[in-house]
Each structure stands twice: as C-alpha cells, then as structure tokens.
Structure 1
Amino acid sequence: MNMPLQAPPLGSAAHKIVTLLEQRTGQHLDVGRAWRIDSALQPMLRERGLSSLDELVARIAAGGRCEEGLADLVVDALLNQETSFFRDAGVLDLVLTAAMDMVAEAPRRLRIWSAACSTGQEPLSLAMLFSEAQERSGLPLPEIRATDISARALARARAGRYTQFEIQRGLSIRRMMAWFEVREEYWEAKAELRYRLLFAQQNLMSDPMPSGKFDIVLCRNVLMYLSPAARSQVLNRIAGVLRPGGLLVLGAGETVIGHTEALVPSECYRGLYRLAAH
C-alpha cells in the first residue's frame, strides 16, 4: 500500500520566517507552500552575501542600524502579488452595476476601497471602468482608495508602469491605446487615470483603517492566505468601515460564512456581501 507523500518539516530558520510572516501580516504559509521561502529569498541572500536562511535569520535577530528594515524586506518578498487587469471581469461589471444602483437610489459621489491592491491593476481597472461609464451615462466618478501592505508593490502601483506581458493580461487593445502610453520598454498609465486614485500603505491586520465609510470594498484573494483568526479580524475591521447598504467583494473562492457575523451574502448581488441586519 502506497502512503501519501508528505512535505518535509520546516527547518528552524524557515519556521522562524513563516512565524515572522504570520505575525506581521496574518498570512499563514503552510508546509506545502514552503518552497516559496527559498525561491523568494534567494535574490536577497545573494545581494547581501549570505549563504543560507540561517544567516539571514541571525542577521534579523541581531538587528542594528545596518539591518534596519530587513524583516520588512523579507516579509515583502514573501507576499503573493499575483494580479492582472480586469481580473474576473464579470465581478467588476457587477461592481459597476451595484454602483449605478446606489447612485440612482441616492445621487452622490461613491467611495470605493481596493484593499490589498498589489501593483495597482485592480484600482486602475476600476478607474477605467468608471471613467468609461461616466462618458456613457454621466455616472459620477467615485473616490477610489487603494492600499497594500507592500511598499514595493505600492511604488509600482503609483507609477502605473507595466511590462508588455503585464499590460496584455486582461486589457483589450482599445483600452491599452486609450489609457496607456509607451515609455521606452514600459506601458505607463496616463496621468489623468493615475490621478483618480489615492494610494496608501496599509496593513489590514493592524494599521488604522481608512477614515470614513465606504460604499464598496474590494478585498479579493487575500483571505485565502490568512489564518482563520486573521480572516475574522480582517472581515470585522472591514465591516466597521462599510456604510449601511455598502458591499464587500471577495475572491471567487472566499466567503464570510463561518468567519464573521457582521457580514452576510447580498440578496441583490450574487457573490457580494453586505452588513448583517441588527
């Protein structure tokens, strides 16, 4: 009888790095995904002349001015920044439909938050979508805030510069030509699009939440990496900044069920979530 293969246990240094990641971000890296540690941190080891994860962990533990921020760089390198333009386009179309319904019910400028925005493709997609809707129907442009825990990802998002490979993932030729300009080997989002976004660094677990209430919050493909306790904490914090009638958008494989009583599935917009009635 063949026994199922099991991933080898984490070494001491890898275990400390996994613990650091979870303490800082709430993300849990299980044994089956531990291969990401070596692949993500090898460039940092080479850059600093370190021969092993043990040396890296020792350097972090030693602290000192020369290694200030090293732990943050390790965490940043381990974050999954997978994203693309108009990812799950049908979901973004549903967001636009919900926004139009909200404005029709109570005309105003909506507030939208793209949480864990990575390198900026999601908020830029929203900006394009709402700009096009304004041209067609006069829908007021919303305030779009975009946050991420990674300073490196945010720097790229603010710059709005993407490679040929990145720009082709999810963008039609029409949108590429309408909203981006070629800058040497990159495609750069036009200033009129970038200036419609407000970026800020944000740790969903511990940093103060953005001020005010939001009509729509997108927090897609984040919960799947969090421990159960962290999922509940993040969902409850997001519920605290949703206005009555507001909506939460999660990734396709994510749900609020079993993680919070503050949010429930929306009856009007399939796959989205609203505040629970009290």
Structure 2
Amino acid sequence: MSLAPAVPGKGQSAPAPAVSQAVLNVVSSLLEARTGQQIAAYRSWRIDTALKPLLRDRGLATLDQLVARLLDGHDAALADQIVDALVNGETSFFREAPVFDQVVEAVAAVEATGRRARIWCAGCSSGQEPLSLAMLFAEREADHGKPMPDIVATDVSEQAVTRTRTGRFTQFEIQRGLPIRRMMRWFDAAGNDWAAKPELLRAITVRRHNLVTDPPPVGTYDVLLCRNVLLYLSAPTKADVFTRFARALRPGGVLVLGAGETVIGQTDAFEPSRRLRGFYERAARLPRASAA
C-alpha cells in the first residue's frame, strides 16, 4: 500500500504546499518510521487532503492541532490513524489485467511439479488484488478441477487489513475493473455496497505486516506481488526490502512489481525473468541481509 501520488499534468505546476513545515516534519517522520515511505516536499499538499477526514472526526480545525494532539501522547490510536490515512493507496480489481494471466501461468508451472503454489500479495490495500486472484483460481477450480493456491495478503494498515477481511466495497469500487458477470457470481448486494462471498474470502489469509520492519509471513512463496508499494522508500530501505523478498521466494519464484517499477539498478537480489515478461526472479546468489 503506498501513498498515492498525484503528478501535475503537462504545463501545470505542482500544487502549493498546504501544510506548515512543522506538520510536514512530524507527519513525514511518523510515516517513514512506521512504513519506510517518504513524503517529498512537493507532495506535502497530499497530507492536507488525506488527513481532512481525521480532522473532522476529531473535531479539530487545523493540522497543527492534530499534530499537537499526536505529540501530547494522550490519544493512543491517533498515530495509527494518521498512517492509515496516508497510505490509503490506489487500487482496483484486475488492475493491469495481463499481469493476472501471467500469475496463472506461473502457478501452473509450479503445479506441474506436483506442488501446491503459494502467493503473497504484499501491500494489498483494500483487497481488490488478492480477491481478483481468488476469483481467477476459484473459476479455474470449478471449470478444470485445478486446486486453489494458498493466497496470503498483507498490509501495514489495520484499516486495509480489516477491509480485505470483510471484502465489502462501494458501488464505485466494485465497478472498477470487475466485469458484471464476475460481480454477480462472486459478490452479494449489501445495502448500497457489495460483499464478497464467504467462499472467496476463505481462500485468502489476511495479516497485518510491515514490509520494512517485520520478517516475511511464515513459509516461502512462488509468486510475490508488490505493486506500486516501494515507490516512496529510500534507496537503502528499498534494497533491504528486495533482499527480504528474495529470501521469501522459493528458487524459481517470481516477483511482480508495478508497471513503472524495476529492480534494475536497485538490487542484486533479483534479475528479469526469462520466462515471464515484466516479472523478476530471485538471483542465484543473494546479497547478505542487513542487520536491521
């Protein structure tokens, strides 16, 4: 899950900063300490946008008041809520659809060896990615009798983890990337929302997990999706996360990044896959893990 960027269009200048330097320093330090993500000064306006709902919930008028409450230490939940608001990332069902076809291909290659595949969705946001995978493999199981792989979904945000576990989406969210046929097959109307069917949710193990500070979820994986999550990490932190990822993958396992991301020039733990275009395979020789 990442701090969703907003890049100015051609001919447009970046929005003027909407927060004080003191607010920027405190909030950006909190976010980096909790997630490793950094907020560039030119994107500081995003803090104001993301935290406005939290101001309303707390009955506060300004971000300076919010930071003062954070620093006085009497609101134990506030730090988590600030981080959750800032990492509420962009996602949708079947985002970059060809990626999912290649994941199915990678899983089939594992199954050809007689082993059940394991998939880790790191930075799962509100759950559309792991649910998209669960739909694909549930349909494959129904049509061809192929087993459902193990799917583990993680995120640093408690709010994201809760949403993934419940599988409940607004009308706007359900329409983004999800064909009507699949929506009707795998979701039930729930008031104004749509709720994933229990059998779909049972296919996914959901855990709260910090990519920067926590060891990988138990076990090793054949496919690891971490798309548009690492964009805002410092170079050393990103390199360390890549090494953690490589150690979490089985030999022959693949890493899937966002369309605009690459491992080239950032880590020696991965190299471009020769089998699956745009995916990465762990290197034969891994870098030494950092002391952190």
- TM-score tier, shorter chain, comes to over 0.9
Equivalent in 84, 90, 106 of residue 92 of structure 2? 84
* Whole-Å separation in 1 of the counterparts to 2:82 and 2:76: 12
SS of the equivalent of 2:219 reads coil
Q: Percent identity?
A: 54
1:56 aligns with 2:66: yes
Distance 2:179 2:55 in 1: 39
Distance (Å, rounded) in 2 between the aligned partners of 1:51 and 1:170: 37
CA contact (8 A) 1:100 1:139 kept: no
Alignment of 1:70-219 (within 5 A): 70-104=78-112, 106-219=113-226
CA distance in 2, matches of 1:22, 1:168: 33
1:55-84: CA deviation from partner (whole Å, max 9, x where unpaired): 2222212113xx012111111111132110
* 1:243 aligns to 2:250 (yes or no): yes
Measure, in 1, the Cα distance between the counterparts of 2:111 and 2:121.
Answer: 19
> 1:38, 1:250 → 2: CA distance?
29
Q: Secondary structure at the match of 2:148?
A: coil
State the SS of the aligned residue for 2:147: coil
| 1:137 shift after superposition | 2.9
Segment of structure 1 superposing worse, 227-236 or 91-100 = 227-236
Q: 1:107 Cα deviation (Å)?
A: 1.2
- Aligned to 1:92, what secondary structure does the other structure show? helix
Q: Structure 2: give runs of 5+ residues left out of the alignment.
A: 1-11, 286-292
Residue pair 1:10, 1:34 contacting (<8 A) in 2 also: no
Q: Which amino acid aligns with 1:14?
A: L
The 1-side partners of 2:195 and 2:149 are apart by 22
SS in 2 for 1:216: strand
Shift of 1:221: 0.7
Q: Which amino acid in structure 2 is aligned with residue 30 of structure 1? A: A
Structure 1 residue identity aligned to 2:279: L
* Cα deviation, residue 10, structure 1: 5.4
Tell me the residue number matched to 2:9.
none
Query: TM-score under structure 1 normalisation?
Result: 0.93
- Give the Cα–Cα distance (whole angstroms) in 2 for the partners of residues 26 and 10 of structure 1: 22
Q: Does residue 50 of structure 2 align to residue 43 of structure 1? A: no
Task: Tell whether the 8 Å contact from 1:245 to 1:275 is kept in structure 2 after alignment.
Answer: yes
Give distance in 2, aligned partners of 1:251 and 1:10: 32
Give the unaligned 5+ runs of structure 1.
Answer: none
Q: Which moved more, 1:175-184 or 1:43-52?
A: 43-52
In 1, Cα distance between the equivalents of 2:266 and 2:20? 28
Tell me the TM-score normalised to structure 2 length. 0.89
Runs of 4+ residues deviating >4 angstroms: 4-10
For 1:203 and 1:91, locate their aligned partners in 2 and report how far apart those are by CA, in whole Å: 24
In structure 1, C-alpha distance between the alignment counterparts of 2:44 and 2:106, rounded to whole Å: 39
- Equivalent residue pairs, number: 272
State the shift of 1:46 in Å: 2.5
The code of the aligned residue for 1:62 comes to: D
Q: Distance in 1 between matches of 2:72 and 2:229?
A: 31
Q: CA deviation at 1:5?
A: 6.0
How far does the alpha carbon of each residue in 1:175-231 deviate from its partner, in whole angstroms, 9 at most, with x for none? Answer: 011111111111111111111110000011112320111011100111112222221
Cα RMSD, aligned residues only = 1.6
Whole-angstrom CA distance in 1 between matches of 2:53 and 2:171: 23
Q: Distance in 1 between matches of 2:72 and 2:42?
A: 29
* Whole-Å separation in 2 of the counterparts to 1:123 and 1:46: 32
Corresponding residue for residue 6 of structure 2 = none
